[in-house]
Amino acid sequence: MNIELQNIRFSYGSIKALDGVDLMLGAGACGLLGPNGAGKSTLLRILLGFLKPADGEGTVLGYDIRHEPFAIRRLVGYMPEDDCLIPGMDAVTFTAYFGELSGMPRQEAMKRAHDVLFYVGLGESRYRMLETYSAGMKQRLKMAQALVHDPKLLFLDEPTSNLDPQGRVEVLDLIKDISSKKDINVLVSSHILGDIEATCSHVVILNKGQVAAQGEIEALKAVTYSLYELRIKGSGDGFIRALEGQGCRIEPTEDGLLKIYMPPGLPRTALFTTAERERVQIRYFVKSRTSLEDLFAKTVGVD
Amino acid sequence: MTAVIRADNLSKWYGNVLGLSDVSLEIEAGITGLLGPNGAGKSTFMKLVTGQMRPSLGRIAILGQDVWNRYALFRRIGFCPEQDAFYEEMTGWEFLTGLLDLHGFSRGEAASRARRALELIELVDAKDRLIRGYSRGMRQRLKIAQAIAHDPDVIILDEPLNGLDPLSKRKVIRLIKDFKEAGKTVLVSSHVLPEIEALTRTIVLLHQGKILAQGDIPYIRDLIDKHPHMIAVTCRDPRRLAAAVVGESSILDIRFGPDPGTVVFETRDRDRVFGLLTALAAGNALDVEEISSPDDNLQAVFDYLVGR
Amino acid sequence: MPIAEQGYAHWTGTFVERRLPWWPVTRLGIRLAFKRKFFKFAFAFSFLPAFIFLAGIYISERMQDFQFMVRGRQSVNFLNINPAFFRSYFTADALLFIMVMLMVLAGAGLIADDLKQNALQLYFARPLRKRDYIAGKLFTAFFFLLSLTLVPGLLFILFKLIFAGSFKLLVDFPWLPLSVIGYSFALTLFLSLYTLLVSSLSRNRRYTAILIFVIYILSDVFFGIFYGIFRNPYFSLLSIKSNLQQMGAAIFGVAPRYNIPWVYSFLVLAAIGTASGFILKNKVRGVEVIR
């Protein structure tokens, strides 16, 4: 287990930010979701040791969050959401500086800074002044400084904010690559569900200061075996009637998607045979699953 | 349909830095997505459309009238900018009613419109709190509120979903779709392409100050010759399926993977291949699990056109 | 020959426990200060008083060569190298002003810039104590201020001994080196804390720069106004400059300008320093509460 928390509580004055959070996070990439004000940033701050919980215990990578925050910070990399760079430096100096502050010897930090900057894609621009960096480059620089000391656990806070579509894909690919190394674990906090689905295998949903749901994304999404989603080309009416004749229930949705509830015992192939008979092409065919968005809505509750 | 927003040879330079070059387009009622990499000219276009800047060349007109200095027209335009800039010492209510006052509404009308806007974006409880204490999501929603409170016909939104949690996003998407139903014209710009796709199929893609593509997403996708359409099929025996169609001349490329049960076909004639697939799936014991078109979405269109 | 693996590689080194954890912060502060356009020039210029006084020491030893300077005048008192000489250098209005200006150029942004750029969250995501961060910034200021006080002070003593060829200076005033060291550190510590305090008050470097300058000048102006009206020397406690000068006079065993116990000046300065300590601890946080 990389992160274990028991009954963590924290309040800002009278506002209860975390109200009894229990968490067990293992290896791999995990997404952290929640409405605004649910306590995500507070949780990250407590994990990093910026804040001490009012109540509760916890360990990160085996170190106690109250008493050993420095040991935790050595092994953890944090990529903040806001822009944060020191003007007047170039990327190598910046990255090496923070590597040094993490406890690396100066020359090691310098060497490692170069390697990490190449890895995140800033190799060509690593001697340029930070003021000249574009938004995408700044995000990657933030990732570089989080990786320079080879952390075991990486916290990424809204990693794709302010990025254009190309930048988003590049950063997501980078995250996927990092988390594919079996021994770096990643915790991604984001509001963009697509990003979480693309990069994470697990998810934790916070709501009102508590954990509303946690687990594997695939497992949490209810897999309804008998429900399929289809798009067809051709006259749909005959097709629909034929299927209903076989016991299916059809729900057309807006923009042309058909939801088909199959009766037990009817094999999938029946859809295709019916389609062929009715001279209809099936152009899109997937087993219906709850989307992460629906899961979120269900867990957090549509108020 | 008549164009609501119309640009003719619109160009804008900042000194010698190019903003837009020779942009001609027509935007009709409904939702249109505006996309492009950073520096493509999206914010320039939005500033020109909302009358904040004057074109260097060409014209930009809304409902037939040039936008620049046309104050009467401003009343019919709502703009939600990307930047976060508020008067922090005001409450949300004061901010909104203040702006409505500027539009010339009477006290009472300003109040009722403000209330209606706040209800739409669910900020009524916090209306008397100082903006300084608002969370990011609340500030974003307030921005949207000021863009719609005066009931404009044309709404320009720059990254409207930025900073909102997934549920708020859903609500705002629904709100924007309601505007479309009400016959308004909405221009939405965003970098998160799945969010644009959730709103509309009509896009304008800008690149290096020019229009790269415009129109219906599937239509544009069809036009990209260089990248034939991909069709991914997951079934029990992908190789048998591949073997069955390999003789078909309309199939240009066959790839297996990444998952063990998946095979990906590339073709320019989707119609033929789908017809074939349906027939094959019906006949042989292939037990097709999934059929999809992995690059038939906005992200793929963007990648292919803008290039990585 | 296998192809070397591209992509991410793990680091196989070991972490070190630094003896001086604040050192990288200081090093960076000094480097960033020198990057500013006028700073190199200003820093060089700030040694001018030291050179003048150093020349004075040389002249004092070779009075016979410089008789032309004494023509018509009685003894040129200021060329007696005694504690009063040192006090003149260390409490010269010009020197204090130059030091404050150096802080305006190099010190105003020490904390203000980090606040503005949100860099604090990067600092404290590291195993860095708050006190190490503050110490690092403090010692950046120390570097510049001590090089204007301690270094010239000790050099004056050294050169005097060399030029005189004897230890007469030290025999006469054995506690002089201690005074030099003591006052240098006291002055440096106070000005550094003052600078950091003001720097942490705002995110805007220009604003803090102006504040550093203005508070210093205004404190003296207020003193001048009240003294002009009431003629009461106790108003000198209002002026930062006067407090520093009182303390300097006391440390060098010379009569102070204003007839009040120097302890009061020391207490005023200590109070400001302590307040600075508290406010810094409060302002320097890894976390912003509003989000």
Same structural domain, A83 and A195: yes
Put simply, whether A52 touches B (Cβ < 8 Å) is no
Regarding whether A241 and A107 lie in a shared domain, the answer is no
A106 in a structural domain: yes
Domain finish residue from A218, A244, A263: A218
Q: Give the residue with greater pLDDT, A26 vs B180.
A: B180
Instruction: Report if residue A118 sits inside a domain.
Output: yes
* Angle at the Cα of C97 from the Cα atoms of C93 and C98, rounded to 5 degrees: 120
Residue A194 lies in a domain: yes
β-bridge partners, B204: B34, B214
Q: Which residue has the tokens 């207020």?
A: C222
Q: Supply A83's token pair.
A: 């822009």
Give B 220-259 residues with CB within 8 A of chain A.
Answer: none
Q: Is residue C89 part of a domain?
A: yes
Helix extents (H) in chain B: 42-49, 71-74, 92-103, 107-120, 136-148, 166-181, 193-199, 217-223, 238-245, 270-283, 298-306
Residue B44 pLDDT greater than 90, yes or no: yes
Is the predicted pLDDT of residue A97 greater than 90, yes or no? yes
**Residues in CB range of A297: below 8 A, 6 or more apart:** B166, B167, B170
- Of A180, A203, A218, which closes a domain? A218
Any domain includes A38: yes
Q: Whose CA is closest to C11, among A117, A96, A108, A114?
A: A108
Q: Based on the domain organization, do A243 and A140 belong to the same domain?
A: no
Least confident of B23-32, B200-209, C237-246: C237-246
Residues A71 and A168 in one domain: yes
Domains in chain C, number: 1
- Give the N- to C-terminal CA distance of chain A in Å, as an integer: 34
Interface of B with A in 97-136 (CB under 8 A): 135-136
Q: How far is A148 from chain B (nearest CA, A)?
A: 26
In order of start, what are the domains of chain B with their CATH numbers? Answer: 5-216 (3.40.50.300), 224-306 (3.30.70.250)
- Both A252 and A188 in one domain: the answer is no
Residues of C in contact with B131 (CB under 8 A): none
Domain count, chain A: 2
- Look at the block and give the residue holding tokens 């249109």: B32
Same domain? For A91 and A214 the reply is yes
What pLDDT shows up at residue B1?
60
Do A200 and A246 fall into the same domain? no
Let me know if residue C84 belongs to a domain: yes
pLDDT of residue A13: 80
Residue C59: give the domain boundaries. 23-64+74-283
The answer to whether residue C12 sits within a structural domain is no
Q: Is residue A146 part of a domain?
A: yes
Amino acid (1-letter code) at residue B281:
A
Q: Do B136 and C290 touch (CB under 8 A)?
A: no
Which tokens in the block code for residue A289? Answer: 């699953």
Chain C residues lying within 8 Å of B135, measured CB to CB: 291
Mutate to test the interface with B, among A217, A272, A288 (most CBs of B within 10 A): A272
Domain containing A272: what range? 223-293
Q: Rounded to an integer, what distance in angstroms lies between the CA atom of residue A162 and that of residue B284? A: 49
Contact C242, C257 (CB under 8 A): yes
What is the CATH classification number for the domain harbouring A237? Answer: 3.30.70.100
CATH number of the domain enclosing A175: 3.40.50.300
The answer to whether residue B163 neighbours chain A at the CB level (below 8 Å) is yes
Q: Find where tokens 């204003």 sit.
A: C258
Q: Could you write out the DSSP letters of every residue in C134-193?
A: HHHHHHHHHHHHHHHHHHHHHHHHHHHHHHHTSSHHHHH-TTHHHHHHHHHHHHHHHHHH
Q: State the distance between the two ends of chain C, measured CA to CA, in whole angstroms.
A: 54
Q: How far is B130 from chain A (nearest CA, A)?
A: 17
Residue A145 has pLDDT above 90, yes or no: yes
* Chain A residues with beta carbon closer than 8 angstroms to that of B168: 35-36
Q: Report if residue C58 sits inside a domain.
A: yes
Put simply, the chain B residues between 277 and 296 with a CB less than 8 A from any chain A CB are: 277-279, 281-283, 285-293
Is the CB of A15 inside 8 Å of chain B's CB atoms? Answer: no
Q: At what angle do helices C205-230 and C240-251 cross, to 10 degrees?
A: 80
- Structure token pair of residue B288: 């097709």
**Residue in A closest to C110 by C-alpha:** A86
CB of A205 closer than 8 Å to CB of A13: no
Average pLDDT by consecutive 10-residue portion of chain C (291 residues)?
71 80 92 88 90 83 63 55 78 88 90 87 88 92 92 87 78 81 90 92 90 91 87 81 83 77 85 89 65 38
Tell me the pairing of strands B262-267 and B229-234: antiparallel
Residue A299 lies in a domain: no
pLDDT of the residue at C1: 60
Compare all CA atoms of chain C with the CA of A113 and give the residue at the minimum distance: C11
Is there a domain that residue C215 lies in? yes
Residue A118 has pLDDT above 80, yes or no: yes
Using an 8 Å CB-CB cutoff, list chain C residues near B132. Answer: 290
Q: Does residue C288 sit within a domain?
A: no
Residues of chain A contacting residue C128, judged by C-beta atoms under 8 Å apart: 101
Note the pLDDT of residue C88.
Answer: 80
**Chain B residue with minimal CA distance to C289?**
B133
- Region B270-294: mean pLDDT is 86
Percent of chain A with pLDDT over 70: 98
Subunit partners of chain A (3 or more CB pairs within 8 A)? B, C
In a domain, A164, yes or no: yes
Residue C6 within any structural domain of the chain = no
Residue of C nearest to B163 (CA): C291
Distance from CA of B89 to the nearest CA of C (A): 15
Based on the fold, state whether residues A239 and A194 are members of the same structural domain.
no
CA distance C43 to C101: 10
Of residues A76, A103, A147, nearest to C15 (C-beta): A103
- Per CB-CB distance under 8 Å, the chain C contacts of A53 are none
CA distance C21 to chain B (A): 36
Cα separation, C161 vs C170, whole angstroms? 8
Structure tokens that stand for B206 in this block: 């800008």
pLDDT in tens, A187-218: 999 989 889 988 999 999 988 888 888 888 88
Asked if residue C80 is part of any domain, the answer here is yes
**Section B212-220 average pLDDT:** 90
What is the least distance, in Å, from the CA of B226 to any CA of chain A? 19
Residue A286 touches chain B, beta carbons under 8 Å: yes
Mean pLDDT of B227-237: 90
Does residue A250 share a domain with residue A181?
no
pLDDT of residue C69: 59
Contact A112/B at CB under 8 A: no
Instruction: Answer yes or no: is the ipTM higher than 0.90.
Output: no
Q: CB–CB of B282 and A269 under 8 A?
A: yes
Is residue A250 one of the residues assigned to a domain?
yes
| Structure confidence at residue C290 (pLDDT) | 36
DSSP assignment string, A243-285: HHHTT-EEEE-GGG-EEEEPPTT--THHHHHHHHHTT-EEEEE
Burial zone of B23 (CB within 10 Å; 0-12 exposed, 13-18 middle, 19+ buried): buried
| Interface B-C: count of C-beta contacts within 8 A | 4
Closest-CA residue of chain A to B293: A284
Contact B282 A302 (CB under 8 A): no
C289 CB near a chain B CB, below 8 Å? no
Task: Name the minimum distance, in Å, from the CA of C286 to any CA of chain A.
Answer: 6
Inspect the interface and report whether the beta carbons of A275 and B278 lie closer than 8 Å: yes
Residues 119-178 on B with a CB inside 8 Å of C are: 132-133, 135-136
- Listed in sequence order, the residues at least 6 apart from A170 whose beta carbon sits closer than 8 Å to its beta carbon are A121, A136, A140, B308
Residue A128 has pLDDT above 80, yes or no: yes
**A302 and B167: CB-CB below 8 Å?**
yes
Checking DSSP bridges between strand B262-267 and strand B210-216, what pairing results, if any?
unpaired
B88 contacts chain C (CB < 8 A): no
Looking at chain C, which residue has its C-alpha nearest residue A12? C289
Tell me: do A213 and A103 sit in the same domain: yes
Percent of chain B with pLDDT over 70: 99
What does the alpha-carbon distance between residue C50 and residue A164 come to, in Å, rounded to a whole number?
Answer: 56
Number of neighbours of residue C55 by Cβ within 10 angstroms:
10
Contacts 24+ apart (CB under 8 A), B157-160: B157/B80, B157/B186, B157/B187, B157/B188, B157/B189, B158/B42, B158/B43, B158/B46, B158/B79, B158/B80, B158/B81, B158/B82, B158/B189, B159/B82, B159/B189, B159/B190, B159/B191, B160/B80, B160/B188, B160/B190
**B133 contacts C291? CB cut-off 8 A:** no
Closest approach of chain B CAs to the CA of A204, in angstroms?
14
pLDDT for C68: 60
Instruction: Tell me the average pLDDT across A20-40.
Output: 86
Size of interface A-B (CB pairs under 8 A): 117
Final residue in a domain of this structure, among A218, A250, A265: A218
> Quick one: closest CA in C to B131, which residue?
C290
* Token digits of residue B130: 């100082």
Nearest CA of chain C to the CA of B135: how many Å? 6
* φ, ψ at B128 (rounded to 5°): -100, 15
Mean pLDDT of B57-83: 90
- What confidence score (pLDDT) does residue A42 get? 85
Among residues A226, A186, A191, the alpha carbon closest in space to that of A202 is found at: A186
Residue B125, phi-psi category: left (phi > 0), alpha (psi -120 to 50), beta (remainder): alpha
